Amino acid sequence: MTLPNETQPLEDDRGNLHYEPDVDEEEQEDSYPIDQYDLVSSPNDFNTKTLVDFIESGVVNIPGFQRNYVWDIKRASRLIESMIVGLPVPQIFLYEYENNKHLVIDGQQRLMSIYYFVKGRFPRREKLAEIRSIAPGKSAVPETVLSDDGYFRQFRLNLPESVPGQPNRFNRRSYEELDDELRNRLDLRTIRHIIVRQIAPRGDEAMYEIFNRLNSGGVNLTPQEIRRCAFDSKFYEMLYETNAREDWRNVVGTKVPDINMRDVEILLRGFAMLMSADEYRPSMIKFLNSFSQQAKSFDDEQVAKLERLLHSFLASCQGLPNTAFHSVQGRFSPMIFESVFVSVCTEAYKTNQIVDGKIDVKSLSELKEDLDFQSAIQRQTTGTQNVMKRLSRARDILKLV
């Protein structure tokens, strides 16, 4: 009997965005420092009953995006069977971001399988995305949704026969249908949890590298997927809602949001450069993480203001050719996009207005042909000098009509 693999990919590569990466992207990914942080890790053993209570009370939350629940009922059933018979279960990692508030770093599939079994309900595969959007950033599902047969079905263990011709004694049992002895055994079964906290400096920026390192053993998360785990916020929710809009999909040139969230990272880069370019220093990853940490404090009014600005920018892109933000290599260029975004939005951002006008196609072509601009998007693209050069040339050349 084996425990299920928790690192199954979500889906195939449909919808992947083919974009022009930073020339020095690989070096930047390897340069994220961890020695500047003071962290502490402590082991705890929680039993099943306590874990379900933690999920329902919000003591344990799953970030708005991790690897969404991807196990089928057979994998989940094998986990429950393993727990009942006493097989070892891998430990779970939590990050404590507030007193008695924890995010799941590693172990979402195990936790949610336990929760669903105890609640007696298993999510319908075609409804998983809707279920996650009902209570983003939370693990517990509202009772009205759990009881809705359109979203969930009854969770009875789906297990293979013990030996040919001999049925498994747990098969087809729900949590309520286990006898008292087995149910008590499951309720009191403990799982080791490692709780990680950042002591210094203040903030949660180390959470990025914690996610990065603990998720490195399976299907690696991209930097933006990790940010979605580590820096969930109302601002991020706005970015993800905009990412599904038709006018934004037209700008990036793909109908389906990128499975690895590269398109969301492009939006994030635009805002980070618009609002914090003066603070930019390599690496790009650390800069975007720092901005994402700041964005957690944006209130509803500020998020609404930024959303209006973004939507007005997208309106200013109407009429541009499909290759407007493409490099000479024929791929979407985040460097071109962020330069245009900052140039077009700066005045409106400073005056709390929206973008008024359309981007002049001729001036955009002139920018892309400018030799200084070209050099800044072709080498050392995350170097401070080239980032500032791109922004400066865009401000000098781009026009609205």
- Predicted confidence at residue 125, as pLDDT, reads 86
Tokens of 22: 């930073």
Distance CA 301, CA 30 (A): 37
Mean pLDDT, rounded, for 46-72: 82
- Predicted confidence at residue 235, as pLDDT, reads 96
pLDDT tier, 34 (very low <50, low <70, confident <90, very high otherwise) = low
Burial of 50 (0-12, 13-18, 19+ CB in 10 A): middle
Distance CA 333, CA 157 (A): 49
Tokens of 93: 């990692």
- Predicted confidence at residue 207, as pLDDT, reads 73
Whether residue 32 has pLDDT greater than 70: no
Any idea which residue has 């590298």 for tokens?
Answer: 209
Determine which of 27-41, 154-168, 321-335, 339-353 has the lowest per-residue pLDDT on average: 27-41
Number of Cβ atoms within 10 Å of the Cβ of 233: 19
- Predicted confidence at residue 126, as pLDDT, reads 85
DSSP 126: G
The answer to whether 211 and 73 are in contact (CB under 8 A) is no
DSSP 354: -
Return the bridge partners of 192, or none.
Answer: 45
Whether residue 99 has pLDDT greater than 70: yes
Angle, helices 262-276/284-295, rounded to nearest 10 degrees = 80
What secondary structure, in 3-state letters, does 6-26 show?
CCCCCCCCCCCCCECCCCCHH
Whether residue 270 has pLDDT greater than 70: yes
Q: What's the sign of the alpha-carbon dihedral 75, 78, 84, 89?
A: negative
What secondary structure, in 3-state letters, does 197-245 show?
EEEECCCCCHHHHHHHHHCCCCCCCCHHHHHHHHCCCHHHHHHHHHHCC
Cis peptide before 77 (omega within 30 of 0): no
Q: Which amino acid is at 340?
A: V
Tokens of 309: 């600005």
Percentage of the chain lying above the pLDDT 70 cut: 86
Tokens of 110: 């195990």
Mean pLDDT (the chain) is: 86
Whether residue 11 has pLDDT greater than 50: no
Buried b (16+ CB within 10 A) or exposed e, 115-152: bbbbbbbbbeeeeeeebbeeeebbbbbeeebbeeeebb
